[in-house]
Chain A
Amino acid sequence: MSTVASDTPAVAPSEQYRPASNLWRDAARRFRKNKLAVAALVVMILLILTAIFADVIAPYPYDYSELADALQFPNAKHLLGTDSVGRDFLSRLIYGARVSLAVGFSVQAIALVIGLTFGTLAGMFGGWVDYIVMRWVEVLTAIPIWLFALFLISIWRATGTFSGGGLFNVIVAIGLIGWVDICRLTRAQLLSLRTTDYVLAAHALGATRLQIALRHLLPNALAPLIVAITLGVPTAIFTEAGLSFLGFGINDPLPSWGKMVADANSYIRVYWHLGLFPTLLIAMTMLSFSFVGDGLRDALDPHLNKA
């Protein structure tokens, strides 16, 4: 029943017996062997670099409009065509990486931090802690993000920053609601693992519950968490676009992939490029996330060593 790696002492493997650097070096070695994961990592890094160096890479400013050139299909001057206002679509996709990756990544980061914390607390301690956390999760699930966003708008209005929106607020709004899935997943995995032999053994050896959770349980809950985070990225990207329908969030001319897909909806019957390219980028982001995630899991999972 034990998932303890066979090349380490059978009972209670802990960092005292195996230096951390070694663990990470092993993991890195295993990760490097996984070509798909490495390729995905490269794609991911490229996307991030694109976002960071958008000013350098983009052939045009994202807000520069040549109205006479509106709605052009991909051509030599505009490699990916132009949008409905005559702005270079490639440049807008490049700048769009900023908002969309920032939203996709940071929302998941917030969700991961909050979700893991509460999920671990609920799953590990059970009892009234679990009870309170889970009731709060139920309350949050019932509150639609749209209402919450409108509420934030009214707050900014009251505090005088009315025209508000902006990246930060969007991330906060989505992140504060988006951690629920991760919390529930963590809790469920911990519930099923905490009576396993090796956890009981670790407990017998005097490890605290928190130590056990962090060292032994979480790594085993990794697989579904990676999927949840992977799937959360496009969800966050589209939620950002959805919020812009309320006038909440990133305003034009600043582009985001999610908004580009949503805006394209009334154009794609003819101007297919407006829908296709941002969709592909979102898919690429999600796939690279997913493959890197799988690779990380495999790398951190020692029993693959033998395989």
Chain B
Amino acid sequence: MSRNRLWSVIVFVCVAMLALAACGGTAPAPSGEAQNASNANAAPTSAAAESAAPTSAANDSGATAPTSAASDSGAAASANGTLNGVKLPDDAAPADQQVYVVHYDNTSDFTTVDFYESVYKRGGAVSDVLSDSLVRLDKNFKIQPGAATKWEVDSSGLVWTFHLDPNLMWNDDTPVTADDYVATFRYGADPKHAWDFTWFFQGVIKNWSEVVEGKVPVDQLGVAAADPHTLQVTTVSPAPYLPAMMLYSDTMQKKALEAHGGLYNSDPATSVSSGPFVLKEWRKGDRLIYEANPKYKGTNKPFIQKIVVIGAAPSTDFASYQAGEIDFVTGSNLSPADNQIIESDPELKKQSHPQPNDFRTDYLFFDDQNPPFNDVKVRQAFSHVIDRDTLIQQIIKPSQGIPAYSFLMPGFPASNSKELSSIQNYDVAAAKKLLADAGYPDGKGFPKITLWLRNEAPVRQAVAQAIAASIKQNLGIDVEVSNKENKTFTDAMNAKPTQIQFGMVSYGMDFLDPFNMLSVWLGGGRHNWNNAQFDEMVKKAASFTGDPNERIKMFQDAEKLLVTEAPGVFIYHRYQSDLYRPYLKGTELEPDQNGVAAIHWPGISSFSQVVSSIYVSKDVANFDRQLP
């Protein structure tokens, strides 16, 4: 009898192995499964495949016109000629396919779609489409007119005038005026609102800090309406980067704000839009549906007629993409296994689009006010034991990042990565010597330390573990890695003095100016490092209004000091690859000046021209697309 039960154990072991191997049995040939999936995609409409394909040959230039192939499907093409007042590109799919479906992270805190209500609780993959910002970005990160047709600064360099597009209307048929923008900025500074992004304009817009602190009434804020279509912004000191900051100026409607409060866009009944889309439906915790705004009068009019944003766990994005349910997966939601599958599948590989996104850099930081990290030699020693090239190859994957030896990523203004690459380079011998010089030969006498992470994705947990192993094996220092939940980490990091001795975080730009990235390292900011020389250099460069090249040089000098003093050890830039289907097309998706073809940051939002560029092409017929 008992022998039988022993057999059951053996059978269990075998079956378990079989079951797991069968399901995940992509081991020997990881591509197999993915390949099947994409073959299945192509199967149902393989005949149509050839006709539409050649259109993708069309190069940049807004035209897309010479898509000869489109003409042979004749009737359909003319039928979908214009849609909602815009003429569709010739190779566009019919109107019912002009839908964009993505996931948002249903594990995150998501309460609003409005920037000025909350930045960190603002929703998911698509937001800020219910009004136009003063400016927006093109694929080369150049600032383009948005709600403001032009702007200028006066001779003092302090007063900026933005001229609003007089055509803009809310979809309740009232005009968009400078008063709406003034009300929005005041709402952001209002101490009663206690906005979570007030730090952004602190020290920039006149009286901003004073209003936030309640010392000065909101009507003293340095934002005013000169006339219904002219907005004036006054700064504390010259701020050549102000137009770039005005990316975040998608206005709320003064009337709705006063009538319903800051959350009026949470309910389609009270929602009002002057942007490219209107809020059609918001089922909390489930999905948002936007539809093209038929009354939109701005210059960012979309081809896409409907956007469906579905709440889902990031870990399931790739599966849903393979099942044909969504059109786009952000590279940051792809797991190491997902990347491996994409890597070995030529079809998926083609759908993977590497791009700099928000120029994000992951780095280590220290409590450099206290031993042992108050010694610059110790910090420098740590900077020399990280084999970034192997980290990229083995863990991060070349499709999702490039090595970082400095803070500003290549492509970002003032980036000086080549020249700075020898300061924090991988050099174990130098590291050992520096540590010995600091009084810890071979790590003797060095305390045991813990590397804190902030609720990081698996790939960065692995990066941190590899770094810890490298420090242990090369410097003889014991490092534990602890992945803390968000609030515990943030609370400890924000405590002054910081309670994190050794941590890893990342930073990505808010707007395209070196001041934005470098200000993270200012004294009293995010980290404990407090270097008067650096602060002065950065602040001086920030408000420098002379030759832009000289200004860049000033930032580069500051960054060099940062890299040399090593309050941060830079690990990698997230040059991430998003996945999207080849049927998503548009001039903004074609190669930019650096040859990068992608949906550029900040994606589908009024901050970007992608909104008016992207459309679904006829290629969609080749895919088994499951529209919700």
- Chain A interface residues (CB < 8 Å from chain B): 34-37, 39, 63-65, 67-68, 70-71, 73, 84-87, 150, 153, 157, 162-163, 165, 244-247, 251-254, 263, 265-273, 275-276, 279-280, 283-284, 287, 291
B484: contacting residue among A87, A246, A253, A284, CB under 8 A: A246
A270 with B483: CB separation less than 8 A: no
Which of B338, B459, B466 lies at the interface centre, i.e. has the most chain A CB atoms within 10 A of its CB? B466
Q: List 8 A-B contacts (CB under 8 A).
A: A64-B469, A70-B395, A85-B462, A247-B452, A247-B489, A269-B24, A270-B27, A279-B16
Q: Closest CB of chain A to B454's CB: distance in Å?
A: 9
A265 with B488: CB separation less than 8 A: no
B window 304-331: CB within 8 A of A: 315
* B17 contacts the other chain (CB 8 A): yes
Alpha-carbon distance between A268 and B23 when the two chains are bound, in angstroms: 10
Alpha-carbon distance between A163 and B481 when the two chains are bound, in angstroms: 10
A287: contacting residue among B9, B450, B466, CB under 8 A: B9
B25 surroundings in chain A (CB, below 8 A): 272
A247 with B483: CB separation less than 8 A: yes
B468 surroundings in chain A (CB, below 8 A): 252-253
B459 surroundings in chain A (CB, below 8 A): 266
B483 with A268: CB separation less than 8 A: no
* B390 contacts the other chain (CB 8 A): yes
- Decide yes or no: A276 and B17 within 8 Å by CB, A247-B489, A266-B315 being known contacts: yes
A246 with B336: CB separation less than 8 A: no
B337 with A271: CB separation less than 8 A: yes
B6 with A36: CB separation less than 8 A: yes
B483 with A269: CB separation less than 8 A: no
Which residue of A has the minimal Cβ distance to B9? A287
B5 with A291: CB separation less than 8 A: yes
A71 with B488: CB separation less than 8 A: no
A270 with B341: CB separation less than 8 A: yes
A162 surroundings in chain B (CB, below 8 A): 492, 499
- Chain B interface residues (CB < 8 Å from chain A): 2-3, 5-6, 9, 12-13, 16-17, 20-21, 24-27, 30, 33, 315, 335-338, 340-341, 387, 390-391, 394-395, 450, 452-453, 458-459, 461-462, 464-466, 468-470, 472-473, 480-485, 488-489, 492, 499, 501
Q: Closest CB of chain B to A220's CB: distance in Å?
A: 24
Alpha-carbon distance between A252 and B466 when the two chains are bound, in angstroms: 10
Alpha-carbon distance between A67 and B484 when the two chains are bound, in angstroms: 24
Which residue of A has the minimal Cβ distance to B387? A67
Q: Closest CB of chain B to A243's CB: distance in Å?
A: 10
- Decide yes or no: A63 and B469 within 8 Å by CB, A247-B485, A265-B315 being known contacts: yes
Q: Closest CB of chain A to B183's CB: distance in Å?
A: 40
Which residue of B has the minimal Cβ distance to A146? B485
- Decide yes or no: A68 and B21 within 8 Å by CB, A246-B484, A247-B488, A251-B450 being known contacts: no
Alpha-carbon distance between A265 and B25 when the two chains are bound, in angstroms: 15
A276 surroundings in chain B (CB, below 8 A): 16-17, 20-21
Which residue of A has the minimal Cβ distance to B469? A65
Given A266-B337, A273-B27; 8 other pairs, CB 8 A cutoff: A35-B6, A65-B465, A67-B394, A84-B336, A85-B462, A86-B394, A247-B483, A283-B16
B488 with A65: CB separation less than 8 A: no
B335: contacting residue among A85, A87, A266, A279, CB under 8 A: A266
A165 with B17: CB separation less than 8 A: no
- Decide yes or no: A73 and B335 within 8 Å by CB, A63-B469, A247-B485 being known contacts: no
Which residue of B has the minimal Cβ distance to A266? B335
A272 with B482: CB separation less than 8 A: no
Q: Closest CB of chain B to A74's CB: distance in Å?
A: 10
Alpha-carbon distance between A271 and B339 when the two chains are bound, in angstroms: 12
B24: contacting residue among A63, A67, A251, A270, CB under 8 A: A270
- Decide yes or no: A270 and B337 within 8 Å by CB, A84-B462, A246-B488, A276-B17 being known contacts: yes
Q: Closest CB of chain A to B368's CB: distance in Å?
A: 18
A267: contacting residue among B6, B33, B337, B466, CB under 8 A: B337
Alpha-carbon distance between A247 and B491 when the two chains are bound, in angstroms: 14
Alpha-carbon distance between A287 and B10 when the two chains are bound, in angstroms: 11
Which residue of B has the minimal Cβ distance to A74? B27
Alpha-carbon distance between A104 and B25 when the two chains are bound, in angstroms: 30
A85: contacting residue among B24, B387, B469, CB under 8 A: B469
A266: contacting residue among B453, B458, B470, CB under 8 A: B458
Which residue of A has the minimal Cβ distance to B472? A63
B391 surroundings in chain A (CB, below 8 A): 67
A251 surroundings in chain B (CB, below 8 A): 450, 480-482
- Decide yes or no: A280 and B16 within 8 Å by CB, A64-B473, A271-B27 being known contacts: yes
Which residue of A has the minimal Cβ distance to B502? A163
B501 surroundings in chain A (CB, below 8 A): 163
Alpha-carbon distance between A244 and B485 when the two chains are bound, in angstroms: 9
A67 surroundings in chain B (CB, below 8 A): 387, 390-391, 394-395, 466, 469-470
Alpha-carbon distance between A132 and B582 when the two chains are bound, in angstroms: 66
B26 surroundings in chain A (CB, below 8 A): 269-270, 272
Sort A-B residue pairs by CB-CB distance and give the 5 closest, nearest first: A247-B484, A65-B469, A36-B2, A266-B335, A251-B480
Q: Closest CB of chain A to B424's CB: distance in Å?
A: 18
Which residue of A has the minimal Cβ distance to B453? A247
Q: Closest CB of chain B to A68's CB: distance in Å?
A: 6
Alpha-carbon distance between A169 and B335 when the two chains are bound, in angstroms: 31
Which residue of B has the minimal Cβ distance to A272? B24
Alpha-carbon distance between A178 and B336 when the two chains are bound, in angstroms: 35
Alpha-carbon distance between A245 and B107 when the two chains are bound, in angstroms: 14
B450 surroundings in chain A (CB, below 8 A): 163, 251
- Decide yes or no: A253 and B24 within 8 Å by CB, A64-B473, A247-B488, A266-B458 being known contacts: no
B27: contacting residue among A68, A85, A254, A272, CB under 8 A: A272
A68 surroundings in chain B (CB, below 8 A): 390, 394
Which residue of A has the minimal Cβ distance to B1? A36
Q: Closest CB of chain A to B508's CB: distance in Å?
A: 22
A273 surroundings in chain B (CB, below 8 A): 27
B480 surroundings in chain A (CB, below 8 A): 163, 251-254
Alpha-carbon distance between A162 and B450 when the two chains are bound, in angstroms: 10
Alpha-carbon distance between A133 and B315 when the two chains are bound, in angstroms: 42
B483 with A244: CB separation less than 8 A: yes
Q: Closest CB of chain B to A298's CB: distance in Å?
A: 11
A244 surroundings in chain B (CB, below 8 A): 483
Q: Closest CB of chain B to A281's CB: distance in Å?
A: 11
A85 with B395: CB separation less than 8 A: yes
B2 with A34: CB separation less than 8 A: yes
Alpha-carbon distance between A61 and B533 when the two chains are bound, in angstroms: 45
Which of A36, A67, A86 lies at the interface centre, i.e. has the most chain B CB atoms within 10 A of its CB? A67
- Decide yes or no: A37 and B337 within 8 Å by CB, A63-B472, A252-B480, A270-B26 being known contacts: no
Alpha-carbon distance between A269 and B318 when the two chains are bound, in angstroms: 11
A35 with B499: CB separation less than 8 A: no
Q: Closest CB of chain A to B259's CB: distance in Å?
A: 39
Alpha-carbon distance between A251 and B501 when the two chains are bound, in angstroms: 16
Q: Closest CB of chain A to B113's CB: distance in Å?
A: 29
Which of A157, A163, A273 lies at the interface centre, i.e. has the most chain B CB atoms within 10 A of its CB? A163
B461: contacting residue among A263, A271, A284, CB under 8 A: A263
B482 surroundings in chain A (CB, below 8 A): 163, 165, 247, 251-252
Which residue of B has the minimal Cβ distance to A287? B9
B3 with A73: CB separation less than 8 A: no
Which residue of B has the minimal Cβ distance to A249? B482
Alpha-carbon distance between A35 and B6 when the two chains are bound, in angstroms: 9
Q: Closest CB of chain B to A33's CB: distance in Å?
A: 9
Q: Closest CB of chain B to A40's CB: distance in Å?
A: 8
A70: contacting residue among B3, B315, B394, CB under 8 A: B394
Q: Closest CB of chain A to B484's CB: distance in Å?
A: 3
A71 surroundings in chain B (CB, below 8 A): 336, 394
B315 surroundings in chain A (CB, below 8 A): 265-266
Alpha-carbon distance between A246 and B484 when the two chains are bound, in angstroms: 5
- Decide yes or no: A86 and B3 within 8 Å by CB, A245-B483, A271-B337 being known contacts: no
A36: contacting residue among B5, B394, B458, B470, CB under 8 A: B5
- Decide yes or no: A65 and B6 within 8 Å by CB, A266-B335, A270-B27 being known contacts: no
Alpha-carbon distance between A284 and B17 when the two chains are bound, in angstroms: 13
- Decide yes or no: A275 and B473 within 8 Å by CB, A34-B2, A253-B468 being known contacts: no
